[in-house]
A and B are shown apart, each in its own frame.
Chain A
Amino acid sequence: MSAASATPANFPSSRRWLVWSGIAALCAWVLVPIYLVALGALGGRQGVYQWPKTGLPTGISIEPFLLFLRSEGVTQSFLNSLGAAGITVVLSIALGAPAGYALARYSFVGKDSYRLLVLLTRAFPLAILALPLTVSFIRLGLYDTVYGVGLIHTVLALPFAALVTQGIFLGVPRELEEAAWIFGCSRVQAFFKVVVPLAMPGIVATAVFAFVISWNEVFAASVLTVRNRTLTAYLLTVLSESPMHFRFAGGLLLILPSVVFIFAVRRYLFAIWGISSK
């Protein structure tokens, strides 16, 4: 690289080629494993024992994957995962967005302490906190429920939501809000009629992230459930006794929704992380 760019004018094409081959290699590094697990999920039992493998999509069909979806516990745990993620999204936005607005628009005593509390959560392995919660959740009737899992996942997503919504509300010009007050809106009206529509895309992106955080969480969900398992907890517990192609199908089922969601918020990814890593 250094030799090529010492005289950049002479070697533009070779340098370009180097950049693009690097990019292509890194894209393959990300995509090929996903393609291979999809082959495994769609190849069924025969596919697993085929030797040597070619890596070409031969002998695949949707049947083995559907068979996996119909096997006992999969649909229910899928729905449980959706439920827990839904609770996480609603709670982390409902609790985090007001805090983000307060951080963005007011200066108050204790603001720095609050920011410190939020940032402190990042230095902790939060899912571990599920361990002592087992006892109190049993007492409260939250153990082995989707609500309990949703609550602990909200602990993971809430600090993130508060920080990101702070950035989003800072990005909405305060002048617009003030203009609304002058035209007779109350603070609450101005917030819902002026700020919310402008902040909406960012808030939706934050919600999607909260969803993905909950959807992917394994440890807390496994500790806090027995029968009402989320998809990750279910797959973890049946892992050792399930056949290979079921494991691959499980992996694919876990990957698909989050890939779609990441695609949906791809334009906001970098802005969000720019904010939350400040």
Chain B
Amino acid sequence: MWPGIRSFRQRRYQMTSNRSWTPYLLILPSVAFLALLFVAPLVQTIWLALSENGAPSLANMRTMVNDLNFVPSLRNTFLLALAVVPVQVAIALAMGTLVAKIGAGRETILWIWTIPLGISDLAAGMVWLAILQNTGYLNSLLFGLGLIERQTAWLTYQTPVALFVGIAVAEIWRGTAIVMVIIVAGLNQVPREYREAAEIFGAGPWTRFWRITLPLIRPALQSALILRTVLAFEVFAVVYALGGRNFPVLVGEAYTWQNQNQNYGVAGAYAVLIMVISLAATVVYLKAIKVDPERLP
């Protein structure tokens, strides 16, 4: 670990004497890059979605809304985000709490828990396909326990609930690591004395968790929630790997309109919708979880 990482908040003195163009020169390349490949395509996407043959039009939006898969994909994406994000936060908090109670072996356990951080959603889909396919390990286990008579299909359009649960489990399996890393990083910054003081004054573990720890890791919780929710609305490859097109989601529809139907306008409309939802979610989190910089440890 590099020196003084914990105290840099306090040591934020700067070379104020030097009012030159140096800092601008240093940030210029990244600003130019982001302008070209972030801001410009952003504006382009909005224009693509809201125009037709070079004139402003809602035709693409109408095509999107009237598409047979629109309502299911919107519903599925929202349900998935609602099911997945809270469970990920809960598991991450449990991981953070558990790992705080042990000394030896802490590093190894944290490494194991962070492994899914390096796994793509496509790979996660394939991993859970090995478990959930007809001759897979779930069916073998259920058969061994005598719960099913023969191989059962879980991932077809006739079993929407099982397919939904399978996709949610795969997403929880993969996406919890990032929440855990952010939350453990937040927990590491909570001074021990706070909890010890609460303990001396007779606060039980639940009270300590809800009244001391949770309020103090608000910033970490907030950024974990924003990151995970934006990613949850981008869900695509894990769905495709497990259910093919049996489970439409928003990004999957954007992909189909772009690559199969070659209709960039409707794909753009989906993209704009996803962006609006992500931004709205971010604003909600920023408002709902107030972070008071004065009270941070």
Contacting pair B135 A131 (CB below 8 A): no
Contacts of B33 in A (CB 8 A): 91, 95, 154-155, 158
- B244: shortest Cβ distance to chain A, in Å? 6
Q: B200 near A: Cβ within 8 Å?
A: no
- A263: shortest Cβ distance to chain B, in Å? 7
Contacting pair B259 A222 (CB below 8 A): yes
Within A247-278, which residues are at the interface with B (CB < 8 Å)?
247-248, 250-251, 254-255, 258-259, 261-263, 266-271, 273-275, 277-278
Contacting pair B282 A123 (CB below 8 A): yes
Q: B224 near A: Cβ within 8 Å?
A: yes
Measured between alpha carbons, how far is A122 from B38 in the docked complex, in Å?
11
Contacts of A51 in B (CB 8 A): 135, 140, 151
Closest to A120 in B: B38
Supposing A216-B120, A271-B185 touch, asked if A30 and B113 sit within 8 A by C-beta, the answer is: yes
Contacting pair B135 A273 (CB below 8 A): no
Q: B34 near A: Cβ within 8 Å?
A: yes
Contacting pair A114 B11 (CB below 8 A): no
For A213-234 the 0/1 string (1 means CB < 8 A from B) is: 0011111001100000000100
Supposing A26-B91, A219-B237, A274-B185 touch, asked if A263 and B5 sit within 8 A by C-beta, the answer is: no
Contacting pair B259 A223 (CB below 8 A): yes
Partner of A248, one of B48, B129, B255: B129
Supposing A106-B23, A154-B37, A232-B120 touch, asked if A273 and B185 sit within 8 A by C-beta, the answer is: yes
Measured between alpha carbons, how far is A152 from B275 in the docked complex, in Å?
17
For A102-115 the 0/1 string (1 means CB < 8 A from B) is: 11011110110010
Which of A121, A250, A259, A273 has the largest number of chain B CB atoms within 10 A? A273
Supposing A101-B26, A105-B14 touch, asked if A274 and B126 sit within 8 A by C-beta, the answer is: no
Measured between alpha carbons, how far is A172 from B26 in the docked complex, in Å?
18
Within A163-210, which residues are at the interface with B (CB < 8 Å)?
167-168, 170-174, 198-199, 201-202
Q: B288 near A: Cβ within 8 Å?
A: no
- A112: shortest Cβ distance to chain B, in Å? 12
Closest to B259 in A: A223
Measured between alpha carbons, how far is A155 from B22 in the docked complex, in Å?
23
How many chain A residues touch the partner (CB < 8 A)?
A: 115
Of A33-41, A59-67, A70-78, A82-90, which stretch is located at the interface?
A33-41
- B147: shortest Cβ distance to chain A, in Å? 12
Supposing A131-B271, A174-B13, A236-B122 touch, asked if A36 and B237 sit within 8 A by C-beta, the answer is: no
Closest to A170 in B: B8
Closest to A43 in B: B130
Measured between alpha carbons, how far is A40 from B137 in the docked complex, in Å?
10
Contacting pair B140 A53 (CB below 8 A): yes
Contacts of A118 in B (CB 8 A): 34
For B95-113 the 0/1 string (1 means CB < 8 A from A) is: 1001101100001011111
Classify the secondary structure of A's interface with B.
helix
Q: B155 near A: Cβ within 8 Å?
A: no
Contacts of B123 in A (CB 8 A): 216, 250-251, 254-255
Contacts of A114 in B (CB 8 A): 27, 31
Supposing A128-B254, A133-B37, A154-B37 touch, asked if A266 and B114 sit within 8 A by C-beta, the answer is: yes
Contacting pair B14 A106 (CB below 8 A): yes
Supposing A99-B26, A254-B119, A255-B119 touch, asked if A266 and B107 sit within 8 A by C-beta, the answer is: yes
Contacting pair B131 A258 (CB below 8 A): no
Q: A9 near B: Cβ within 8 Å?
A: no
Partner of A131, one of B4, B95, B240, B268: B268
Partner of B45, one of A19, A131, A152: A131
- B38: shortest Cβ distance to chain A, in Å? 5
Measured between alpha carbons, how far is A64 from B161 in the docked complex, in Å?
34
Partner of B230, one of A1, A55, A124: A124
Contacts of B107 in A (CB 8 A): 266
Closest to B102 in A: A19
Contacting pair A212 B37 (CB below 8 A): no
Contacting pair B2 A171 (CB below 8 A): yes
Contacts of B130 in A (CB 8 A): 33, 36-37, 39-40, 248, 251
Pick 30 A–B contacts, CB within 8 A, sort by A.
Answer: A5-B205, A29-B173, A33-B128, A33-B130, A52-B143, A54-B140, A91-B33, A96-B30, A98-B26, A102-B22, A106-B14, A122-B227, A125-B234, A128-B45, A128-B251, A128-B254, A129-B45, A131-B271, A132-B41, A134-B264, A159-B34, A218-B236, A219-B236, A219-B251, A255-B119, A258-B119, A259-B118, A263-B111, A266-B107, A278-B223
9 smallest beta-carbon distances between A and B, as pairs: A258-B118, A251-B126, A216-B120, A274-B185, A132-B44, A102-B26, A277-B223, A106-B23, A254-B123
Knowing that A34-B127, A133-B44, A248-B126 touch, tell me 8 more A-B residue pairs with CB under 8 angstroms: A31-B112, A33-B131, A37-B126, A55-B140, A99-B29, A215-B120, A222-B259, A278-B219
